[in-house]
Structure formats: C-alpha cells, structure tokens
Structure 1
Amino acid sequence: MSTRPTDTDSRDTFSDRCASSASFISVHSELHEVNEVTVPLQLADAPLDETVIRLALAGALGMFLGLEREWSQKSAGIRTFSLISLLGAVFTLLVLETDLGEPLLILGGLLVVVQGVMLGIQGLLSDEGTGLSLTTSVSMLVAYGIGALVVAGFITEGVTVAVLSSLLLVLKRELHEFAWGLSREEMRSTTEFAILAFVIYPLLPAEIDLEFGGLVIPLEPQVIWLMVVAVAGIGIVNYAIVSTYGGRGIAVTGFFGGLASSTAVVGTMLDHVRQRPEAASYAVAAILLANAAMAARNLAIAVGFTVGSGSRILLEAIVPLGAVILVAFAVAAWSADWGESGPIELESPFSMKNALAFGAVFLVVLVFGSLAETWFGTLGFYATAVASGFVSSAGATTSAVVLYRGGQLGPAEATIAILLATVSSIVVKALLAATSSNRGFRLQVAAYSGLLLLGGAVATVVVVI
C-alpha cells in the first residue's frame, strides 16, 4: 500500500515542479482544496487487492473455518486456524515480493503437515478418534491454502474454498447418513454421474464446425454434453424426492428442474415413465410445470431487466407468458391425482443409456435448428431465438432484453423474440417426449403442449384486439 507524503515533501515537490511547469500551480491548488475530501474517500473505497485488506481477509476466513472446530471442541479452533491462514498469507506475500519467500512457503506447509500428523497421533492415543483428528489436520492445511490464495489475488476462490470447507464440516452427520444409506445401485449411479460431469465434460471441445449439405454448422459439444449432465443430475434429485414424497415429489422436480433446464426435465421424465408406466400422469404434469417455470423465468427476465433501465418495461410479454403459466398449472392440477402421496419405488436414480439417447436426440434437434437459422435469411434474429429455445429459452430472452435496452430492438421485436424462444422450448419438449414408447404419455404431452400454446395465442389476440 502506498504511503501519503509528508507536508514537507509535498512543499518541496511543489516548488520543484513550479519551475518546470506553471500550469501545475492551478492543478495543485485544486487538489489542495479537495485534499481533505479525497483522502477519506480513498480510504473508504480501498479495493480488495490492497495488501493489508487481503491479509485481514485471510485471517477472517481462517477464523471462519475454525469456528466449527471450536464449536466441536477440537484441539485446534478459531485462533489456531486464523494464525495458520495468516501464516500462509504472509509467506505467499514474501514469495511475491522477495526471493526468500518460496522456501518459507514450503516450510510453512510442511510445518502444518507435521502439526496435523501430531494431532493424528494424539487422536490414536485419546478417545477423540483418528477420523476426527484427521479432519482437523486436513482443515488446517486448507486454512493455510486459503491464506495463500487470498494474498495471491484469488479472492473469490479463497472465499469459495472457505465456505465449502465450513459447510462440509457442519454437515458431517448428514453426509455420513447419506453415504451409509446408499444402495449398490445408487452408488453406481452416483459414480456414473461423476464421470459424466467431471471427467468427460472437461475433455470435450468448446466449439466445432460440422459440415452438412455444403453448410458449416457451428456446434458446442460442451453445451450438448451439459444437457446430458443436467438430465442425469435432475434424475438423481427426482429419485431422492420421489422416493420420499411420491407423486407430489414429481411436481417439485418438474417445477424447480424447469427453473434450471426445462428441457432436461423431459429426459428425466422419459426415464421415469420407462420405469413406472402407471405413473405417466405425474410425468406429464411435471413437464407442464417445467414449462410453467420456464415461462415464469423468461417473464422475470423480460420485466425485471427492463425496470429502471431507461427503456419502457416489456409489458407486452406479461399476458402471453402469464397465460402459459396459468394454463400449465391448471392442467397439471387437473391431469394427475395429487391425493396419492405414498412413495414410488424406482429402479435407479437415472439411466446412463437414457441420458445418452436424450443427448443424441437433442443434438439432432440442435442441428436442424441451426439449419433453419441459416435458411431464414433476413429473419435470422427470430430464427436465432427459435434455435436458442432448443437449448435454453433464457439465453434467447436475455439476448433480446439486452438488445432492447441498447436500442437495437424495439419493444415489439424483443417481445416476439422472447415468445418465439418460449414456444420453441415448449415444442422441443413435446418432440422429445414423442420418442417415448408409452403412447399415452407422448399423446398427452403433445395435446397439453398445444393447449399451452393455444392459451398464450388467445391471450395475445385478446390484448391486441
């Protein structure tokens, strides 16, 4: 952190510069008049990259991490963790500023490791247990790393590590009960999901160009695979909720899954219907509620991001999207017997085969959407909204609102783009549901999806007239 010069230094500097530049007199005079205001503002607005602030933050995060250990009455608590984090911060600072810091940083890490080993030995000789002392030892090493991260400038990462680590410590009992209660099938599904999300996804390229009929179609393999991961993740959540709350749990999965990815909900429901054909009415209701959540999210973006922006609020989107939400809730409430609340037995949290098949169908839909965008020519923006709705109607909605706020689109064009993305999302879910072998399920999804679109269209016509 820079230090403020003394009054004597300021006068000397002023005299020297007066000789070289007469214009500096007026500048210095202006700065002198606001000097008493400028300095306090600088101190009040000190950024997080200031060294002293980062050292203080490192100590605070170490204290936060040690809070649970202190509450659990372990051998290392708030003061120890805070000091360890400060130690990592100081040694990292020396690495950045001097040539002697790197050996000290390594030595500090070894010191924390040795201290952890000593705690482990103490746990073996006492009633505390090896597991508890090992957790404390690892937590101390994490605190050391947090201090190093913060001072090195990785402030967000350091805060994230501290919060997640503290959460793991607090949820000890719940995590143990969850792990001990897993069946072999559930454990296998969890492992498969980890492979999908953390092994395959990072290996895929972000973008590739696919040649089709003389046209070059840009594709994003990571986005496509992310949809497969979303299907698997929502499937696991659906399994846990449905196993506990039965049919009502499917509704929860549909609505809250729809807030994240309404299209991925269809993949989960396809697997659900395959395992439990008699519960197809609940799966249909879940897709309807996912559509309601998707429309509600788009409406919140359209209205919320135009409030206070200087542009007129997109009130035109309220009636059609509101109609979709109301009709979806009404049909979902009518189509399924919500009085049944007993648990439903499912075979597995999710099917790897079904998730991959869904990803393949999604790829085909995406390719044809890109072709449609190319063929539409002058209506490229609307075609883009339709194609974006295949992936995420929220992305198309956000793009339309941003262009509207910037003046590139009028309210009518922005509203049409949002509605096209919403319609596209509803249609693509009906198309994906049509791949199910359950005839009743796919016919109901198609009919009720058409009813949602009809409700939105009627509401729009009524308002226009």
Structure 2
Amino acid sequence: MYDLSELATYSTQQWLSYVDPVTYDFLEKFVLSLLIGLLIGIERERKSNTGDIFAGIRTFAIASISGMIATYIAIQQVMPNILYLTMIFFIIVATVIIYIKNVVYRQVGITGGIALFFVFLMGVLVAYEYYLFAIMGAVAVTFLLIEKYTLKNFAVNLNQDEITNAVQFFIIIFILFPITPNTTIMEVINPRYILGIVVIVASMSFISFLLMKKTGPERGIHISGLIGGLVNSEATTGALAALAKKKHILMDVSYHGIILSNATMLIRNMVIAFIVDPSGRVLIMMLPPQLLLTAANIGMVVKDQRIDHMKYETLEIESPFALKPAFKFAFGFTVLIILAHYLNIWFGSAGVFVLALGGLVSSAAVTASVGALAFGGNLSPTTAALVAVLASIISTSNKIILVRLAGSMELYVKVRRSFLVLMSVGAVAYLLWILVIYIGGLSIKL
C-alpha cells in the first residue's frame, strides 16, 4: 500500500518537473501576489456593507497582481516605462477614491486609497523576490485595518505624558542605541549590550502595560494584577494595597491581584533569563524551583473560591517607557553586573549569592545581571540560575513589606500569612534543587 502523503508529494514533484523554471517562477510570484491582494481585500470587503469603502476584494487582488506583472515585464523585457505608467495609474485611482469619499460622499478618511496603492507596491516587492518583506507588510497592514477601532480607542486614552515618554524612548532606540560604543569596559561592561537589554526588558514591560490599559477596569482587578506583575510587581502590589485600604470591599480581590502579580513576576524573570542568555542554560537551571513557586502562587488563588469578578477599578502604574524607570533599571543592572563580576573574582561563586539581596529592589535586574555574566562566560550558568531564583524568592518576601507600608492591617495579615507559605515553598524547592544539582550531578558547567 502507498502512503497517501508520499504519493501526493511524488505526484507534485513529477508535475513540477514538466514545468520550465521561467513558468514556475512566474506562477510562484503570481500566486503570492494574488494571496496578498486577497488578504487585504477580504478585510476591505468585510466593511462594504457599511458603505465605508470603494474598493473590495477583487480590486485589491487585481492591484497586487498588476504590480507584480508590471514589474515582472519591466525586469524581464527591460521595459521600465510600463512599471512607471502602472504606478502613475494606481496613484490616480487612489487619489480619485480619496476625492470621491471625502468630497462627493463627505466622509472623512484616506485609508482606502492608501491601502490600494500599498497593495500595488507589495506586488512590486513580490516581483523583485522580496517575499518576506511583502508578506510582513501585508500582515501588518491587515492587522492595522482590522484593529481600527481598538487602536483609535487606545490612542484616545493615552495621556500627554505617556506619549512624550514613548517618543523619548524611541529616541533612545533609534538614535542613542546606534551610536553607543560597542566595547567592553572594566572587563565586563558593554554599553551597547546593557542598553539593548534595557530596551528589550522595557519593551516587554510596555507591551504588558498596553495590555493592561486595553483590558481596562471592566476585566477586573485580578486581571490587572496578573498583567501588572509583568510591568512592575512592586508597583502593582503597592497600588492594589492602597486601593484595598481606600475601599475595604475590594480587599479580597486586591489580595488575589497581589498574589497573581507575584506569579507573573516569576514568569517574567524566566523570560529575562532567556533574553540575556539565549543559550537557555540559565533558564533550564531555573525552571524546577521557579515553576514550582509560580504554581504555588497560582494555586493559592485558585483554591480561594471567593474571587469577585464584579469589582472594577483602574490601577495607576507608571509607564515603563518613561525614562525614569528605564534608567533606574539600567543603573541597577550595571551596578549589579559589576558587583557580580568582582564578587565572583574575589570570593568565588559563593560571593555572587550576596547579589540575591538585590531582589528586595529588583529581581529582574539581578536576573539580567547574573544571566549576562553567565552568557559571557564569567559565571557558571548553575550559579547564575541559583542566584536568580534566590532573588525571586527574596522579591516575593518584599510584598509583605510593601503591603504593610501601603495597605490596611487586615490585608497585611492576609498577605503575610500567604506569602510566608509561598516563601517556605520556595525555600524548600530551592534547597531540594541545590541537593539535586550538587549531589545528583546535574550542574551545567561552562
């Protein structure tokens, strides 16, 4: 009996063997340009019932194919004029669409005309064999068209400070980062590498910040706490504790939010470990105790059946794209990486464990610093992982202090009881993992 998949593959290969390379090349480009036009055209056609568009699925598909064929002829037959004429034609068509919509029908908008010309350009890219760029462009534009109202609502809800902070941060990414020296200072500091890590971590936090703003208070405090832990678990804990103190009825749900923010903080640290050490060695050595502690956090919330989904409030947390938190992380990361390097030289691996106390301030900075040293070969991945996990456990303990300072006594008692249990679970898991590593011989060495 023939395997159907093998038979189909063989039949396809046999059929393609009869197709000459020129025809195959043309068909490949034709199909891809058609699919790109259909992708964006379907989204436009979907809105045709509202009367908001003047070009649908067929028009967009034809525009993409036209761009590909005009460019193909221009390349193969050395006739660039046909590409210029086709481009001018679609510029005129796009202009007419914009004119009719805005002047004749008195509707405001230029997206349709721009999208049509964009599809034409994607066809041109396909003809030049920039397949990946064309696909990425098509997917990005389709997303922007689909998420029109979501993006509009998000932009409206941004305040002036958040916009200013985002602009400043983009200046750091696109202007400061390229001119930052890519050299090693004091045997361990690479300014460009440090700035790159800061940008990546802040970007990850900012995405979480956007998700929290997008979900809004209607999704509940526990969801905001869950996402807030990715942004800044300390700030989230303080905000929830203050909220519960102001409105006693929100104490239980704020309590859940604090625990969930701690859980996502633990997950965030594992992600950071992988970012600074792409080999994954530090992450692998972190996983068992870190995952167990994360599961204990989530399990504590799941066990409590009194989650109230009807308590809605907004958490005020500073945007991680603001320069202040970004530079604070950069400063902490730099100081800790220097300390880790020299503590390792002066006192060996045991000296590096002192850095775990930095978890009281920022377990993310501790994880990033020891992970970077491990990736650079200045610290064993096992030691880096153990320091990072210990910093996470210590960071778990600081939630008790934060709640005592910002929250009510009743919430403090609840959090203290629960987090002492979590710290005990983390400590036991940590010690058992050390035994497994050094007695069982699981240590990853350089």
Contact 2:33 2:65 in 1 (8 A): yes
Alpha-carbon distance between aligned partners in 2 of 1:435 and 1:105, rounded to the nearest angstrom: 68
Contact 2:41 2:61 in 1 (8 A): yes
For 2:71, the equivalent position in structure 1 comes to 92
**2:230 is the counterpart of 1:252:** no
For 2:197, the equivalent position in structure 1 comes to 223
Which residue, 197, 200, 216 being the options, matches 2:172?
200
Distance change >3 Å, CA 71–CA 368, structure 1 → 2 = closer
Summarize the alignment of residues 151-170 of structure 1 with structure 2, pairs less than 5 Å apart: 151-170=127-146
Alpha-carbon distance between aligned partners in 2 of 1:361 and 1:434, rounded to the nearest angstrom: 23
**2:426 is the counterpart of 1:453:** yes
**2:264 is the counterpart of 1:290:** yes
- Could you tell me how far 1:53 is from its partner in structure 2? 1.3
Which residue, 116, 120, 140 being the options, matches 2:94?
116
Q: Deviations over 1:54-93 (max 9, x none)?
A: 2320122112211222333343222221121122223333
Q: Deviations over 1:182-235 (max 9, x none)?
A: 45xx342552354145443222225546998x6552132132134344444433
Contact 1:289 1:328 in 2 (8 A): yes
Aligned residue identity for 1:91: A
- Could you tell me how far 1:108 is from its partner in structure 2? 2.5
Summarize the alignment of residues 40-439 of structure 1 with structure 2, pairs less than 5 Å apart: 50-73=25-48, 74-94=53-73, 96-97=75-76, 100-101=79-80, 103-123=81-101, 127=105, 129-131=106-108, 134-176=110-152, 178=153, 182-183=156-157, 186-192=158-164, 194-205=166-177, 208=181, 217-219=189-191, 220-241=194-215, 243-254=217-228, 257=230, 264-266=231-233, 269=236, 272=239, 276=243, 278=245, 281=255, 284-294=258-268, 319-331=288-300, 338-339=307-308, 341-346=310-315, 350-351=317-318, 355-375=322-342, 376-377=344-345, 390=364, 418-425=385-392, 427=394, 439=405
Distance change >3 Å, CA 237–CA 146, structure 1 → 2 = same
Q: Deviations over 1:242-271 (max 9, x none)?
A: 52133222343157x3xxxxxx43365277
> RMSD of the TM alignment (CA)?
5.2
Secondary structure at 2:177 match in 1: coil
Distance change >3 Å, CA 293–CA 341, structure 1 → 2 = farther
Alpha-carbon distance between aligned partners in 1 of 2:312 and 2:188, rounded to the nearest angstrom: 49
Alpha-carbon distance between aligned partners in 1 of 2:235 and 2:116, rounded to the nearest angstrom: 41
- Could you tell me how far 1:148 is from its partner in structure 2? 1.8
Distance change >3 Å, CA 296–CA 417, structure 1 → 2 = closer
Distance change >3 Å, CA 250–CA 51, structure 1 → 2 = same
- Higher deviation after alignment, 332-341 or 162-171: 332-341
- Higher deviation after alignment, 138-147 or 445-454: 445-454
Contact 1:295 1:321 in 2 (8 A): no
Q: Deviations over 1:353-380 (max 9, x none)?
A: 9943332332232123322443224968
Distance change >3 Å, CA 449–CA 277, structure 1 → 2 = same
Scaled by the length of structure 2, what TM-score is found? Answer: 0.66
Task: Structure 1: state its 5+ residue gaps.
Answer: 1-35, 258-263, 307-313
For 1:311, the equivalent position in structure 2 comes to none
Contact 1:272 1:283 in 2 (8 A): no
Task: Structure 2: state its 5+ residue gaps.
Answer: 1-10, 246-250, 441-446
Distance change >3 Å, CA 170–CA 233, structure 1 → 2 = closer
Aligned residue identity for 1:224: V
Structure of greater Rg = 1
How many residues matched? Answer: 388
- Could you tell me how far 1:426 is from its partner in structure 2? 5.1
